[in-house]
Amino acid sequence: MSLAEISSANDAHVVAVAHNGKLESEVCANEISDSEASQHVDSDHGRLPYPELLQALTLEEKVALLSGSDFVRSTGIPRLDIPPLKIVDSINGVKGSDLHHGTPTAVFPSSTLYGSTWNNALMEELGACLAQQAKLKSAQVILGPTINIHRDPRGGRNFECFSEDPLLSGQLAAAIVRGIQSQGLAACPKHFACNESEFKRRSYDVAEDYNGRTVREIYLAAFQELLRGCEPAALMISYNKLNGVHTTESPFLKDMLRDEWKYNGCLVSDWFATKSTAASMNAGLDLEMPGPTVFRGQRLIDAVRDGLVEEKAVDESAARVLALVEAARSSVSGAPERSEIRPETNALALRIASEGIVLLKSDHYVLPLDMRRAPKIAVVGVPATEPVISGGGSASAPPQYIQRPLDCLREAHPVPSLIQYVRGVNTNRIVPTVPLAQTMSQTGEPGFDIAYYNSGCDEPAYTERQAVPVVAMVRDLKPGLEETGFRYEISTTITPASTGVHTLAARVTGAFLLFVDNELVGSLSEQAEVSMEDFLFEPARLEHRISVPMVAGKSYHVRLVTNARIPKENDYEPTPHGAVLCYEEYVNERASIAEAVQAASSADVSIIFAGRNHEYESEGFDLVSNSLPDAQVKLIKAVAAVSHRTVLVLNCGNPINVSPFVDDVDAVLNAHFPGQEGGQAVTDILTGKTNPSGRLATTWPKQFDQEHVPSFDHFPARLTDDGYKIQYAEGVQVGYRHPGVERTAQWQFGFGLSYTTFEYSELVISEVAHASITVSIGVKNTGIYPGHEVVQAFVVPPKANVWRPARELKGYAKVWLLPGEARRVSIELQKKDAFSYWDEAIKQWKVEAGTYRLVAGPLSEAWTVEKEVTWSGR
The answer to whether residues 787 and 743 belong to one domain is no
DSSP designation for 99: S
Residue range 24-36: mean pLDDT, rounded: 38
Element (H, E) at 827: strand 822-830
Residue range 308-322: mean pLDDT, rounded: 97
Distance CA 465, CA 443 (A): 9
Looking at the domain assignment, is residue 344 inside a domain? no
Residue range 839-865: mean pLDDT, rounded: 96
The answer to whether residues 182 and 305 belong to one domain is yes
- For 248-302, the pLDDT digits (tens) are 999 999 999 999 999 999 999 999 999 999 999 999 999 999 999 999 999 999 9
The answer to whether 472 and 100 are in contact (CB under 8 A) is: yes
CATH value at residue 712: 3.20.20.300
Task: List, in order, residues 6 or more apart from 660 with CB less than 8 Å away.
Answer: 627, 633, 637
At residue 188, does pLDDT exceed 50? Answer: yes
- For 541-598, the pLDDT digits (tens) are 999 999 999 999 999 999 999 998 766 545 567 888 999 999 999 999 999 999 999 9
Residue 133 phi, psi (nearest 5): -65, -40
Domain edge (last residue) among 754, 774, 790: 754
pLDDT band at residue 800 using 50, 70 and 90 as cut-offs: confident
Q: Provide the residue range defining the domain that includes 192.
A: 1-333+353-426+587-754
Task: List, in order, residues 6 or more apart from 52 with CB less than 8 Å away.
Answer: none
Q: Pairing relation of β-strands 718-720 and 700-701?
A: unpaired
The answer to whether residues 551 and 619 belong to one domain is no
Query: In what order do the strands lie in the sheet containing 859-865?
Result: 808-817, 787-796, 850-856, 859-865
pLDDT band at residue 476 using 50, 70 and 90 as cut-offs: confident
Q: Active site includes 270?
A: yes
3 state SS of 495: coil
Residue 48: per-residue pLDDT: 63
pLDDT band at residue 534 using 50, 70 and 90 as cut-offs: confident
At residue 739, does pLDDT exceed 80? Answer: yes
Looking at the domain assignment, is residue 485 inside a domain? yes
The answer to whether residues 765 and 703 belong to one domain is no
Domain edge (last residue) among 584, 609, 643: 584
At residue 723, does pLDDT exceed 50? Answer: yes
Residue 750 phi, psi (nearest 5): 90, -5
Q: Pairing relation of β-strands 377-380 and 419-422?
A: parallel
Residue 22: per-residue pLDDT: 34
Residue 27: per-residue pLDDT: 38
pLDDT band at residue 25 using 50, 70 and 90 as cut-offs: very low
Active-site entry in 34, 165, 270, 833: 270
What does 398-430 look like in DSSP terms, one character per residue? Answer: -BSEEE-HHHHHHHHSSSGGGEEEE--S---SS
The answer to whether 438 and 456 are in contact (CB under 8 A) is: no
Q: Tell me the residue ranges of DSSP E strands in 685-819.
A: 700-701, 718-720, 723-726, 745-747, 758-769, 772-781, 787-796, 808-817
Residue 770: per-residue pLDDT: 83
Chain-wide mean pLDDT for the chain? 93
Is the pTM for the entire model greater than 0.85? yes
Exposed/middle/buried for 276, CB within 10 Å: 0-12, 13-18, 19+?
middle
Task: List, in order, residues 6 or more apart from 181 with CB less than 8 Å away.
Answer: 127, 131, 187, 230, 232, 233, 327
Number of Cβ within 10 Å of residue 482's Cβ equals: 12
At residue 647, does pLDDT exceed 60? Answer: yes
Looking at the domain assignment, is residue 431 inside a domain? no
Neighbouring C-alpha atoms within 13 Å toward the C-beta of 609: 31
At residue 28, does pLDDT exceed 50? Answer: no
Domain edge (last residue) among 584, 600, 624: 584
Q: Tell me the residue ranges of DSSP E strands in 612-717.
A: 646-651, 667-670, 700-701
Distance CA 153, CA 735 (A): 9
At residue 20, does pLDDT exceed 50? Answer: no
Residue 14: per-residue pLDDT: 34
The answer to whether residues 526 and 565 belong to one domain is yes
pLDDT band at residue 33 using 50, 70 and 90 as cut-offs: very low
The answer to whether 595 and 422 are in contact (CB under 8 A) is: yes
Residue range 859-868: mean pLDDT, rounded: 95
Number of Cβ within 10 Å of residue 168's Cβ equals: 27
At residue 674, does pLDDT exceed 90? Answer: yes
CATH value at residue 852: 2.60.40.10
The answer to whether residues 604 and 707 belong to one domain is yes
Is residue 496 reached through a cis peptide bond, with omega within 30 degrees of 0 on the bond before it?
A: no
Residue range 308-317: mean pLDDT, rounded: 97
At residue 503, does pLDDT exceed 70? Answer: yes
pLDDT band at residue 42 using 50, 70 and 90 as cut-offs: very low
Distance CA 328, CA 141 (A): 7
| Dihedral class, residue 828 (left if φ above 0, else alpha if ψ from -120 to 50, else beta) | beta
Query: Which whole-number Å values give the CA distances from 444 to 551, 583, 630, in the listed order?
Result: 21, 20, 41
Residue 531: per-residue pLDDT: 77
pLDDT band at residue 31 using 50, 70 and 90 as cut-offs: very low
Q: Tell me the residue ranges of DSSP E strands in 495-616.
A: 500-508, 512-516, 519-524, 543-550, 556-563, 577-584, 605-611
Residue 515 phi, psi (nearest 5): -115, 140
Is residue 368 reached through a cis peptide bond, with omega within 30 degrees of 0 on the bond before it?
A: yes
The answer to whether residues 463 and 417 belong to one domain is no
Residue 12: per-residue pLDDT: 35
The answer to whether residues 227 and 291 belong to one domain is yes
Looking at the domain assignment, is residue 225 inside a domain? yes
The answer to whether residues 412 and 555 belong to one domain is no
Least confident of 159-173, 349-363, 556-570, 812-826: 556-570
Residue 110: per-residue pLDDT: 98
Q: Pairing relation of β-strands 519-524 and 462-466?
A: unpaired
- For 132-187, the pLDDT digits (tens) are 999 999 999 999 999 999 999 999 999 999 999 999 999 999 999 999 999 999 99
Distance CA 865, CA 851 (A): 6
3 state SS of 626: coil
Looking at the domain assignment, is residue 216 inside a domain? yes
The answer to whether 277 and 300 are in contact (CB under 8 A) is: yes
- Residues counted in the chain: 874
The answer to whether 532 and 573 are in contact (CB under 8 A) is: yes
The answer to whether residues 762 and 812 belong to one domain is yes
The answer to whether residues 535 and 553 belong to one domain is yes
The answer to whether residues 748 and 809 belong to one domain is no
Task: List, in order, residues 6 or more apart from 249 with CB less than 8 Å away.
Answer: 275, 276, 279, 280, 282, 283, 285
- For 380-407, the pLDDT digits (tens) are 999 999 999 999 998 999 999 999 999 9
What are 419's strand-pairing partners? 377
Distance CA 274, CA 4 (A): 18
Count structural domains, the chain: 3
pLDDT band at residue 39 using 50, 70 and 90 as cut-offs: very low
Least confident of 395-399, 495-499, 522-526, 667-671: 522-526
Number of Cβ within 10 Å of residue 374's Cβ equals: 13
Query: Which whole-number Å values give the CA distances from 497 to 491, 500, 583, 706, 842, in the listed order?
Result: 19, 10, 12, 47, 71
Residue 677: per-residue pLDDT: 99
Distance CA 282, CA 249 (A): 8
Residue 26: per-residue pLDDT: 35
3 state SS of 337: strand
Rounded-to-10 torsion of CA 673, 677, 680, 683 = -10
Looking at the domain assignment, is residue 343 inside a domain? no
What are 187's strand-pairing partners? 142
Residue 257: per-residue pLDDT: 97
Per-residue b or e along 797-807, where b marks 16 or more CB atoms closer than 10 Å to that residue's CB: beeeeeebbeb
Q: Which residue has the higher pLDDT, 527 or 68?
A: 68
Neighbouring C-alpha atoms within 13 Å toward the C-beta of 485: 4
CATH value at residue 558: 2.60.120.260
Between CA 458 and CA 470, with CA 464 as vertex, the angle to 5 degrees is 100
Looking at the domain assignment, is residue 345 inside a domain? no
Looking at the domain assignment, is residue 518 inside a domain? yes
Exposed/middle/buried for 373, CB within 10 Å: 0-12, 13-18, 19+?
exposed
Residue range 117-124: mean pLDDT, rounded: 99
